[in-house]
Amino acid sequence: MGKRPVPELLVHGIRHGESRANAGGALDNEADIPLTDHGHNQAGAISRIITARPMDLIAVSPYLRAQQTAAPTIAALPNIPHETWPLIREFSFLGQDGLKALRPERLEIAQSYWDRADPVFAAEGAEPFSRLMAHATQIKTKLEALHAEHMARICLFSHAYFLNALRWVMENPSEKPTPYAMRDFMTQYKERPIRNADILTFRHDGTGWKTKN
């Protein structure tokens, strides 16, 4: 008998619900930012959508706001495996000064970082763009390996920058993290925004990826 055909892989990439930082609050650190009440309501709405679909695996960023967003879905699907994947965390590029700033100043620091367009630059306590893209590439490879093992439906509870990076490496598999790519990434980030509680669709048929949001 021949091998059983591998079904198409469908990945739901979900950005966490509204967090305290999204609502304008200052940050102590990237990992422990909680959801707002509205964010918790969004998490419940996501759960109602996801639990209506077949699912094989739920993967979650280790950061609190993603864990809180995933919690209602995990509770509603007790028989579905769930895992914490450290690499699907938020992209931390602001540095210590940026984390402590209120939203208007954080936006100025972020704009300065992206205007610099240096993929290997990192402020103190931050990480470079090149590392974000390396993490996204590693997760893409991990998803492809799970697909080869006949995994068909996966949920990723993650963050805006990481989901944008994952979409980027799927749509531009041969691109390297050059200054040009960094500028193009940010253009795409603005023109194809991934808002709180958005659900992206990534499909893999064994030969390539298709994305939709």
pLDDT tens digit string along 21-55? Answer: 888 776 777 899 999 999 999 999 999 999 998 89
Please compute, for residue 144, the number of CA atoms within 13 A of its CA located in the half-sphere on the CB side.
14
Mean pLDDT of 61-77: 97
CB of 162 within 8 A of CB of 90? Answer: yes
Query: Does the predicted model carry a pTM greater than 0.85?
Result: yes
pLDDT tier, 144 (very low <50, low <70, confident <90, very high otherwise): very high
The pLDDT of residue 26 is 66
The closest alpha carbon to 43, from 23, 86, 10, 14, belongs to 14
Mean pLDDT of 114-130: 93
The pLDDT of residue 4 is 58
pLDDT tier, 1 (very low <50, low <70, confident <90, very high otherwise): very low
Residue 107 domain-assigned? no
Residue 100 domain-assigned? no
Helix, coil or strand: residue 196: coil
Within its chain, how far is the Cα of 166 from the centroid?
7
Residue 203 domain-assigned? yes
Of the two residues 183 and 5, the one the predictor is more confident about is 183
Axis-axis angle for helices 103-116, 179-191 (nearest 10) = 140
Lowest mean pLDDT among 1-5, 45-49, 70-74, 110-114: 1-5
Residue 50 domain-assigned? yes
Residue 77 domain-assigned? yes
Share of the chain above pLDDT 90, in %: 73
171-197 pLDDT tens trace:
998 889 999 999 999 999 999 999 999
CB of 132 within 8 A of CB of 161? Answer: yes
Residue 171 domain-assigned? yes
Lowest mean pLDDT among 4-13, 60-69, 147-156: 4-13
CB of 14 within 8 A of CB of 157? Answer: yes
Within its chain, how far is the Cα of 140 from the centroid?
12
The pLDDT of residue 3 is 55
The pLDDT of residue 5 is 63
Mean pLDDT of 65-70: 98
Residue 119 domain-assigned? no
Distance in angstroms (rounded) separating the CA atoms of residues 149 and 143: 10
DSSP state of 101: S
CATH at residue 36: 3.40.50.1240
Enclosing domain of residue 159: 9-91+128-212
143, pLDDT greater than 90: yes
Residue 199, judged by CB atoms within 10 A of its CB (0-12, 13-18, 19+), counts as middle
Distance in angstroms (rounded) separating the CA atoms of residues 174 and 171: 9
The C-alpha torsion from 17 through 170 and 88 to 205, rounded to 10°, is: 90
Residue 114 domain-assigned? no
The pLDDT of residue 66 is 98
pLDDT tier, 128 (very low <50, low <70, confident <90, very high otherwise): very high
Distance in angstroms (rounded) separating the CA atoms of residues 134 and 54: 30
Q: How many CB atoms lie within 10 A of CB 113?
A: 21
Domain count, the chain: 1
